[in-house]
Amino acid sequence: MVLGSAALALAGCAHNSPYEPADPLEKINRPIYAFNMVADKYVLRPVTVTYVTYAPPPLRIGVHNFLDNLFYPTVVVNDALQAKFKQSGLDLTRFVLNSTFGLAGLLDPATMVGLRENDEDFGQTLGVWGVGEGWYIMLPLLGPSTNRDVVGRVGDIWTSPTQYANLNLGDRAGLLAVQAVDTRVQLLDLDSILKQQLDPYVFLRTAYLQRRLNEVYDGNPPEDLTEPPLPDD
């Protein structure tokens, strides 16, 4: 079933500029976006603000470092899948160093010795391979995505160490909750920017597609994918 859904999602993929997004599901996406905003307002954001208020910064940094390191094998694998073999080796070194001398990732000695953190996932790998982003999709509770990135999420499951750990359902749910709060911490400063937008849905869509485009092309996307189209005469 999962493979069949992935094939259907990929079938509709084509390159699209963030200025001309393929959003035929907008009438469905907007209500899901509204639901996500309500869930964030009454659940996730209050929990996150409480966490930031009472958890000391060293604890929050340690949790963030641990989560980054825990899922870093996904970066290493996708480096290699994109033929970035040198980067893959360096990222593997970073993972090993932080997992050992960094006390299972709570500390980040790799950055201290010059091994910078990279961000690669299977959605980006598909983009490098020439698979277009497809439709813009708003996922319940998970937020913005595309056909390509939905397939990428499925692919990244198999490079996550938690897939092979003996975790019960409660442990997995707890880990997901901690991840959600940690991610929300990083986004708190953007709340005021989103409130200033005349149409937050369009702003978020454009920002997400632009960010993913930059990630696929390592910050140097082709001009024809980044420049807004000229008006018709």
What is the pLDDT, as a whole number, of residue 222? 84
Looking at the whole model, is its pTM more than 0.85? yes
Q: Is residue 121 part of a domain?
A: yes
Of 93-97, 183-187, 227-231, the least confident: 227-231
Per the structure, the count of domains in the chain is: 1
What is the pLDDT, as a whole number, of residue 226? 65
Q: Is residue 224 part of a domain?
A: no
Contact 155, 131 (CB under 8 A): no
What is the pLDDT, as a whole number, of residue 138? 97
The burial of 48, by beta-carbon neighbours within 10 Å (0-12 exposed, 13-18 middle, 19 or more buried), is given as buried
The burial of 209, by beta-carbon neighbours within 10 Å (0-12 exposed, 13-18 middle, 19 or more buried), is given as buried
- The secondary structure of residue 93, as a DSSP letter, is H
Q: Is residue 151 part of a domain?
A: yes
Q: Is residue 163 part of a domain?
A: yes
pLDDT-derived band at 20, boundaries 50, 70, 90:
low
Contact 50, 60 (CB under 8 A): no
Residue 201 structural domain = 2-14+35-219
Ramachandran region, residue 221 (left: φ > 0; alpha: ψ -120 to 50; beta: rest): beta
Q: Is residue 28 part of a domain?
A: no
Mean pLDDT of 11-21: 54
Amino acid at 188: L
